[in-house]
Structure 1
Amino acid sequence: MALRPVMVNIKALDGSAVGRFWAEALGWSAYSPGVTTYVGPVGGLVWPDPVFVCVDVVPVPEPKTTAKNRVHLDLATTSAAHQAELVARLKALGATPAHVGQGDVPWTVLADPEGNEFCVLEPRDIYRDTGPIAAVVVDCADPQAMARFWGEAMDWTLHEVTDEHAVFRSAKGVGPYLEFLRTPDVRTVPDRVHLDLLPYPGDDKAAEVDRLRALGATDLDLGQGDVPWTCLADPEGHEFCVLAPS
C-alpha cells in the first residue's frame, strides 16, 4: 500500500480568479470540472497527472489572515533573465512582494492575489527538470520527525534529511520536490494550503487512512461533512486529505 501527493490544495475567496492566476503563473491551464478550479498542464484535463503535483483552488468564505502559510510553492527558473522576467510577469498578473523575514536572499518572495506566499527561485541545477514548480515547501519544527512520518505515509524517495530540512521526490525522479524546512513558526490558524494524497488504483482508501492513523495522523474536522475524502493532520498538525482512488 502507498500514497502519492497529487495536488496542492489552496483555499480562496475567489477560486476562479486565483486558479487563473496560478494557471498563468505556471504556464498551465485552469479547468473547472466542478466547484473547484484545477490547474494542470496544457493539453486537456488529466487527473491524476502522471508527473506533476498540480494545484486545486477551492472557494471558501473566509479570507486569508495575516499569518504566513506553512505550505508554499517554490517556482523554478533557468537563468537570471528568466527569474527577472517571471517576477515581472507575475507582478503584472497581480502578485505582490511579500516579507516573511527572508532578508537579503537570491530568490524573490511574492504573494498571489489573495496573499498566499510563494518564491521565485534563482536558477538551481537541482530543479532544472522539475517543471514550473521546483518544490512544495512545508514549514515544520522537526524535519527528522516529518521525514519519518511522511516517508512511511507516501511512496516518495527520501533524498536528504538533517536537523534543518528533509527532502523527498517521486521515486520515478520526476516532478517537484517535497521539502520540510525547520522554522520557528508555530501553527496559529487553520492551514490555507495543504497537500492532497491519492491511493493507487485497487488500493483500499480506508486501510490507507487507518495506516496513517497508526503512524500518528489524527482526524480533522473542518466542517467538511459527508465527503468522499478524509481530512487528517500529521504529527505537527499539518492538514492533508486522502482522496478516494479513481
Structure 2
Amino acid sequence: MSLVWEAVVIDAEDPASLGRWWAAALRWEVAADESFGVEIRPRREAGSRPALVFVPGSAKAGKNRLHLDFHASDQQAEVGRLLELGAQRADIGQGQVPWVVMRDPEGNEFCVLEPRG
C-alpha cells in the first residue's frame, strides 16, 4: 500500500469563484462543483492528479506558507494573460529573480517561472 497525491486543497472565501478563476488560468476544467467546494483538473486525462480543490475558508491573512509554481513557454505572455484574468503582481521581498510572483483574486501568491529546457 502506498500514498498517492490526489489534490491540493485551498481555503477560499468564495470557492466557486476562485475555482473557476483557477480553471481559466490553468486552462483546466471544473471536475466537481459540490457543497464541499470546487475541484478542478487538467482537461487531457480523466482523473489527472493532482487536482486543486477550493473549499470554504476564512480570508487570507499574511504570506502563504505554501504556494504553487508554474513554468510557461512564454513567461511574459502568460503573465499578461493572468493579469487580464484578474491576477496581480506581488512583491514579497523576492528582489531580482527570474520568476514573477503574482496573487490570485483572493490574494494567494503563486509564481510564473521562466521557460524550462
How high is the TM-score relative to the length of structure 2? 0.90
Moved over 4 A (4+): none
Residue 71 (structure 2) pairs with residue 71 (structure 1): no
Identity, in percent, stands at: 44
- 8 Å contact from structure 2 (residues 16, 33) kept in 1: no
Post-superposition Cα deviations, 1:180-199, rounded to whole Å, max 9, x if no partner, equal xxxxxxxxxxxxxxxxxxxx
1:93 to 75, 80, 85: 85
Question: Counterpart of 1:9 in 2: which secondary structure?
Answer: strand
Letter in 2 for 1:100: I
1:1-246 paired onto structure 2 within 5 Å: 1-35=1-35, 36-42=37-43, 46-47=46-47, 49=48, 52-60=49-57, 62-65=58-61, 67-78=62-73, 82-125=74-117
Paired with 1:85 and 1:100, the residues of 2 have a C-alpha distance of 22
Post-superposition Cα deviations, 1:79-99, rounded to whole Å, max 9, x if no partner, equal xxx211110111111111111
Question: Counterpart of 1:8 in 2: which secondary structure?
Answer: strand
In the TM superposition, residue 69 of structure 1 has moved relative to its aligned partner by 0.8
Letter in 1 for 2:19: G
In the TM superposition, residue 72 of structure 1 has moved relative to its aligned partner by 0.8
Question: Counterpart of 2:4 in 1: which secondary structure?
Answer: strand
Post-superposition Cα deviations, 1:59-83, rounded to whole Å, max 9, x if no partner, equal 22x2111x111111101112xxx21
Post-superposition Cα deviations, 1:26-74, rounded to whole Å, max 9, x if no partner, equal 1111233412111112268x44x2xx312011122x2111x11111110
Gaps of 5+ in 1: 126-246
Q: Cα RMSD between the aligned structures?
A: 1.6
Post-superposition Cα deviations, 1:126-163, rounded to whole Å, max 9, x if no partner, equal xxxxxxxxxxxxxxxxxxxxxxxxxxxxxxxxxxxxxx
Paired with 1:58 and 1:71, the residues of 2 have a C-alpha distance of 16
Paired with 2:9 and 2:26, the residues of 1 have a C-alpha distance of 15
Letter in 2 for 1:6: E
Compare CA radii of gyration and give the structure with the larger one: 1
Paired with 2:33 and 2:15, the residues of 1 have a C-alpha distance of 13
Gaps of 5+ in 2: none
Question: Counterpart of 1:58 in 2: which secondary structure?
Answer: strand
How high is the TM-score relative to the length of structure 1? 0.45
* Count of aligned residue pairs for this structure pair: 116
Letter in 2 for 1:37: V
Paired with 1:104 and 1:63, the residues of 2 have a C-alpha distance of 29
Q: Which has the higher contact order (CA 8 A, sep 6+)?
A: 2
